[in-house]
Amino acid sequence: MTRTREVALTPRRVRQTARLARRLMPPDGDLEGWLHNLGEHRNRPVKATVGDLSGTPGLTGMCLIRDDADYIVVDAAASPARQVMFLCHEVAHLLLGHEGEVASSDLVAQATPDLPPALRARVLTRHAHDNLEEHAAEELATLLTLEHARRQRAHELRANAISARLR
């Protein structure tokens, strides 16, 4: 047990990271804009895609961390709302600075057939919730998912002609 890891994953750290994530999220909750802003913050592109994650039971999302970019993959079979939740979880891992482990080339090839076959990356996956990193990422992802939904609703209300007349 290292002291630095304990300090890095405190509730305070999660709240600070949530503030940063909210600053990066566009007012309308646009996910592509959010990933673009996150990429600028990280000085590297952050790209999201859907993939077939059915080959690994319980796997719903993962983040492939490469030297040149980060790729977030969420399960193509999930509903759009769940895909947002999985995306927020992977963004949480990135913002919290979680390391990940070396990905098997079979898993990467199966989940991301559109990415280069020579892709070698560290991978952060969303299938084990038994460690501090997963708990912190899950807590932050919950906050971010709620914030995304709130911003989308507010944007829809502002864009609604009837709602605008009532204001």
pLDDT at 119: 55
pLDDT at 6: 43
Q: 68 exposed, middle or buried (CB, 10 Å; 0-12, 13-18, 19+)?
A: exposed
Please report, in angstroms and rounded to a whole number, the separation of the first and last CA atoms in the chain.
55
- The list of the chain residues with pLDDT below 50 reads 1-7, 126-127
**pLDDT for 7:** 42
Per DSSP, the three-state class of 4 is helix
Whole-structure pTM value = 0.81
With contact defined as beta carbons under 8 Å apart, do 108 and 123 qualify?
Answer: yes
For residue 97, give every residue at least 6 positions away whose Cβ sits within 8 Å of its Cβ, in sequence order, or none: 8
Look at residue 15 in the predicted model and tell me its pLDDT. 93
State residue 117's pLDDT score: 59
108-150 pLDDT, tens digit each? 666 666 666 555 556 655 445 558 888 899 999 999 999 999 9
CA distance readout (Å), 106 to 99, 112, 155, 165: 20, 10, 41, 55
